[in-house]
Amino acid sequence: MGEVVTEIKKEFKKFSNQERAELLQRYFKTGKGEYGEGDIFLGLRVSDTRKIAKKYNTISIGEAAEFLPSQYHEERLFALLVLINIFQRGNEEDRKKIFDLYLQNTNYINNWDLVDVSAGKIVGACLFNHDRAPISKLAKSRNLWERRISIMATSYFIKHNSFDDTFNITEILLHDKDDLIHKAVGWMLREIGKRELEIEEEFLKKYYKEMPRTMLRYAIEKFPEEKRKSYLLK
């Protein structure tokens, strides 16, 4: 372990809070059989983790990667925040290296907050001008978090008014059994609707009757009340 890694770990210990850690472990469903089973928290506020990431945003990709397999949730979040920063200012080689590192370590990107903060900014951003086939592969994974990465990666495309991949991934995930996937898919459809409501509705009219209820509710959340009710009653 390098000197800077040891220094950063001391920062995490300084901000840790056992009472908050216990609350976070309940909030992120870390109990037996729950989606975050076994995850351990130090009890940092997200703002504190972001402060540490900002303070050490000049560390190398390799140093940031040392935190990805951490048993502590906040240290994994720190790794992702730093990697996003390096990715955004890096050259093509750095971006590809971070993208590959990310996909090699999806077992550690294992809760919804970790996925949501990073998938668009790393996976989506890297694939925007390249072959987007990797997200379809992720969508077919048995790993819940890889499936969530696949749909959340398209958030980057949506911001650039590119919607086809979101619809393609939605079709793959349409009958997914997990509520966390239903919420993420519905959220991305809603984001499309904010930009092009007619395009979202055109897609919904084709699929809304077979969508899980949660997915549909998220997708139409911003619709006028009467229109929302009409979708839910049909």
51-98: pLDDT as tens digits: 999 999 999 999 999 999 999 999 999 999 999 999 999 999 999 999
Give the torsion sign (CA, 31, 138, 156, 56).
positive
**Residue 141 and residue 7: Cα distance in Å, rounded?**
37
Predicted TM-score (pTM) of this structure: 0.96
So what's the architecture of 1-110 in CATH? Alpha Horseshoe (1.25)
So what's the architecture of 132-234 in CATH? Alpha Horseshoe (1.25)
Measured in degrees and rounded to the nearest 5, phi and psi for residue 156 equal -65, -40
Query: pLDDT (tens digit, 9 = 90+) per residue, 111-154?
Result: 999 999 999 999 999 999 999 999 999 999 999 999 999 999 99
Q: What is the DSSP letter of 40?
A: B
Q: What is the pLDDT of residue 2?
A: 82
**Residue 30 and residue 111: Cα distance in Å, rounded?**
10
**Residue 114 and residue 222: Cα distance in Å, rounded?**
25
Q: Is the pLDDT of residue 165 over 70?
A: yes
Q: Is the pLDDT of residue 29 over 80?
A: yes
Q: What is the pLDDT of residue 233?
A: 85
**Residue 227 and residue 30: Cα distance in Å, rounded?**
38
Q: Which long-range contacts (CB under 8 A, 24 or more apart) does 216-222 make?
A: 216/186, 217/186, 218/182, 218/183, 218/185, 218/186, 218/187, 218/189, 218/190, 219/185, 219/186, 219/189, 219/190, 219/193, 220/190, 220/193, 221/186, 221/190, 222/190, 222/193, 222/194
Torsion on CA atoms 7, 8, 13, 18, rounded to nearest 10: -170
Outline which parts of the chain fall under CATH 1.25.10.90. Answer: 1-110, 132-234
Please provide the average confidence, as pLDDT, over all residues in the chain. Answer: 96
Average pLDDT over residues 4-33: 96
